[in-house]
Amino acid sequence: MISNEVSELFKANVAGMTASDAPRLAQQVLPDGIERVKDVAYLPDGDEGHLLDIYRPDGSQDRPLPVIVDLHGGGLYYGTKENNECRDMMLAGEGFAVVNANFRLVPAVSFPDQIADAMVVLRWVWAQGETRNLDLNNVFVTGDSAGAALAFYVCAAVGSPQLAGAFGVERPDLTVRALAATSGMFRLQGGVHATALSYYMQGYLQTPGDHIRMDRYLDLDQVVVDGDLPPMYMVTSVEDFIADNTYEVARILQARHQDYALRVWPRGHDRVLGHIFNITLAGDPAAHEARETIHEIAGFFRSYMAPAR
């Protein structure tokens, strides 16, 4: 049950974030040389939350490319694929086919429904591989902020029948080679933002069934233990207001002997390197930090690439 107070909080936050993103999106400079296929339905139900875009370098349509699936941020209640379009086109310029996906948003659905949506995106990639000239032996996932949390849970479940069963989702017949998380909002409860999260949790887990599925796995260590995470690249900065989430996941991965890389940017000299800066600054040609980070993500993925089938 979502209270009127929390419903109004979601609405106010969406309005504020939309107003904040609008100038950035209007001014960003999209890269040249990238083909865009817009608004492909990965579920044919007419829901805008079930649309995705595909970006790839011009002239690459006749050969399979490694695939990056991107899940956008926005607290699980805000955002669309268009917020990440510029950054994802730049990733495509590194030699990838990038699948930039919407998913349904809280409070219209709850977090387990979003996990299901993201898993359907991966199943769509598997089903469309031959038609779309995708290298299904090299599938990667990225997410920013809350999208990083969604990506974290989904990737952990892809290789784990136990976790997939707990979440009530069907796994695709593929391997996620690596995961990249930008400014991950991994914590859905507790921590230094516990008070705010206690309100948002009314939207994240709305029914007793949601709690049965997810309560055990609000403990991030339990996700790592029961799941099967691929190698993970994490990036944040000292100016990221939820950098502590990334540090916590890095601590868990270290303790569990998982394969990961951590990049923490210092305070920016010419600009603030805040939350999800490689998304928000991607369209600024002068923002070399964003471009370097994008190149690092692509490089991390390439380092885990398997030979094409």
C-beta of residue 55 within 8 angstroms of C-beta of residue 34: yes
**Arithmetic mean of pLDDT over the chain:** 97
Please choose, from the candidates 49, 46, 44, the residue with its C-alpha nearest in 3D space to the C-alpha of residue 102: 49
Please choose, from the candidates 65, 35, 71, 32, the residue with its C-alpha nearest in 3D space to the C-alpha of residue 52: 71
Gap between the Cα atoms of 154 and 176, Å rounded:
10
Gap between the Cα atoms of 172 and 161, Å rounded:
11
* Interval 234-269: pLDDT, tens: 999 999 999 999 999 999 999 999 999 999 999 999
Position 50 scores a pLDDT of 98
* Whether pLDDT at 192 is above 90: no
State both tokens at 283: 């369209």
Percentage of the chain beyond pLDDT 90 is 97
Gap between the Cα atoms of 243 and 183, Å rounded:
6
Gap between the Cα atoms of 248 and 236, Å rounded:
12
The pLDDT of 280-294, averaged and rounded, is: 97
CA R_g for the chain: 18
* Whether pLDDT at 177 is above 70: yes
Q: At what angle do helices 146-158 and 111-132 cross, to 10 degrees?
A: 70
DSSP-H helix ranges across the chain: 4-27, 85-92, 111-132, 146-158, 161-167, 194-204, 208-214, 220-226, 243-255, 277-280, 288-303
* Interval 30-39: pLDDT, tens: 999 999 999 9
| Exposure string for 261-280, b = 16+ CB within 10 A, e = fewer | bebebeebeebebebbbbbb
What secondary structure letter does DSSP report for 214? H
* Interval 94-116: pLDDT, tens: 999 999 999 999 999 999 999 99
Gap between the Cα atoms of 154 and 168, Å rounded:
12
Q: How far apart are the first and last CA of the chain?
A: 48
Gap between the Cα atoms of 16 and 250, Å rounded:
31
The pLDDT of 4-25, averaged and rounded, is: 96
Q: What DSSP assignment string belongs to 170-190?
A: PPPS--EEEEEEES----SSS
In the chain the domains, ranked by start, together with CATH numbers, are 4-303 (3.40.50.1820)
With cut-offs at 50, 70 and 90, classify the pLDDT of residue 309.
low
The pLDDT of 158-187, averaged and rounded, is: 97
Position 308 scores a pLDDT of 55
Gap between the Cα atoms of 221 and 203, Å rounded:
23
